Amino acid sequence: MRGPHNILRLIRTGATLERTGAMRLIMDAMDAPPLVRGTMRFLAWPFQWLGYKGDTNMPPALRALTALGPAYIKFGQVFSTRPDIVGDALAQELRVLQDKLPPFDAEVAKASVASSMGQPVEAVFSEFSDPIAAASIAQVHKARLRETGQDVAVKVLRPGIERAFRRDIDAFYFAARMIEVLSPSARRLKPRDVIAHFEGVVNGELDLRLEAASASEFTANTAEDEGFSLPAVNWDMSGRRVMVMEWADGAPMGDNAAIDAAGHDRAELGERVLQLFLKHALRDGFFHADMHQGNLKVAPNGDIIAYDFGIMGHIDEYTRRVYAEILYGFIKRDYQRVAEVHFEAGYVPPDRDVDEFARALRAVGEPIFGMDASKISMGGLLSYLFEVTERFGMETRTELILLQRTMVVVEGVARSLNPQTNIWQVAKPVVEDYIRKNIGPGAAVRDLRRTLMVLSRYGPRLPKIVESALIRQSSPEPEPTRGLRWKSVLWLGMGITLGAMATMLATVFI
């Protein structure tokens, strides 16, 4: 329930951070202003006795996040890919959250697998290992199929994970509602919509059948992508709480020493992981939205292997074009066009000054160009960009949350492989290729063809639509409404004409 009892949960969050020593560590890593530091510690210190103790054998940040639960671990996973924001030491520490959390008992996992498959584990697998990777929602075991001898990965949800997430999400909703009440200026960020989006993502992760479907669709989309491969799903053995996939051998993406020992080029891998993400997002509108090091491997042949498809992002074609034009404008340093795209897409209120917005965007983009990539502070850049969006009244676009979040994560992965990686230079060929194929005369002809096909399908229904409209028009009703009906008929007549034209054109051109 999203009631006041969630205040205790939020108080315990701050109290846990203070009690474990994570509050000071996080504030230092993010170089928080003195006022923020003082306020946070002032609010949390009196209640630290309410905080969770956590595992005292863990470092402070890990101790706090693991004690608070899976939703907080998700945030830690994002920061584990951002050494430029939280520092190398903390980012390295947080990587444990990606796939090295304390596992639950293997016998509990076997019982869950047996329940899902309707037969004992020993009847299906000749070997079933202890947990080899454990994250916030599930853990993975390596097993061997008794019938074929094939090695597979068996993913099993944590016991009680649904209830744990429900508790955290309820508290987040309560906090979002309080933020909107106490800070009207924050309403443009749509905190409740953001939490609703997060809730939808989490619910998708809690049903492994949906993850299997995402893996299948992603495999079909990327079948022709060189240097990229995905493990196949075993549908017969997968269910809501258990998923079985073929085993993928390779060096973990987060282990630079292993990657070097295998003879792979880390700089090239960093560029490739960025370009693959952009290609999937722009070309397909369907992308892996949890591409941290714990979900990536490098195969012996150099292929990047992705797995864990619980969080997948989807953006429609129109939004992809807007996003591509914005990226392209930044790459070309055409800030005027970037500003115009924001206004055309409705991202900025129309009463604001487009030229002033373009100048503000220039202040965001110019520090990137001509600078050593390792010296760019992504934290400072994001902070200034946030100030710009606030000044111009931009609202949070929930459809872009996963895209923006994954962009940050993937850049972090690339820069962990090669600190000199510059996202704009690497993105340029992918974005230019998308622009060339999807924005211009050729794209306009293709869009017209699709429009004609849709309109032509309504041809057989036009007589019935007209008859229904005329019957409604002839029925008695107040005069003002009748005037509106006649306008509707006029518009309908225009629609019929256009539909007829579309049908004829479709016959000729399609």
Residues noted as catalytic: 290
Q: Using DSSP bridges, classify how beta strands 125-134 and 286-288 pair: parallel, antiparallel or unpaired.
A: unpaired
**b (16+ CB within 10 A) / e for 160-173:** ebbebbbebbbbbb
The answer to whether 344 and 336 are in contact (CB under 8 A) is no
- What phi and psi values does residue 32 have, to the nearest 5 degrees? -65, 145
Compute how many other C-beta atoms are within 10 angstroms of the C-beta atom of residue 471: 9
In angstroms, the Cα distances linking 502 to 14, 45, 197, 488 are 61, 69, 38, 20
Helix-, strand-, coil-residue percentages of the chain, each rounded to 5:
65, 10, 25
- What phi and psi values does residue 305 have, to the nearest 5 degrees? -105, 125
DSSP 138-161: EEEEEEEETTT--EEEEEEEPTTH
Q: Is 462 helix (H, G, I), strand (E, B) or coil?
A: helix
Residue tagged 């019938």 (tokens)? 147
- What phi and psi values does residue 126 have, to the nearest 5 degrees? -80, -25
Encoding tokens for residue 461? 């229904």
Encoding tokens for residue 303? 């292929």
Q: How many CA atoms lie within 13 A of 234 on its CB side?
A: 21
| Nearest Cα residue to 201 out of 156, 279, 154, 137 | 137
In angstroms, the Cα distances linking 335 to 324, 366, 387, 446 are 14, 10, 17, 28
228, containing H or E segment: strand 228-229
Compute how many other C-beta atoms are within 10 angstroms of the C-beta atom of residue 111: 15
**b (16+ CB within 10 A) / e for 214-245:** bbeebeebbeebebbbbbebbeebbbebbbbb
Residues 6+ apart with CB under 8 A from 463: none
The answer to whether 131 and 156 are in contact (CB under 8 A) is no
Compute how many other C-beta atoms are within 10 angstroms of the C-beta atom of residue 142: 17
Q: Please give the order of strands across the beta sheet that includes 138-145.
A: 125-134, 138-145, 151-157, 242-246
Residues 6+ apart with CB under 8 A from 205: 137, 211, 310, 311
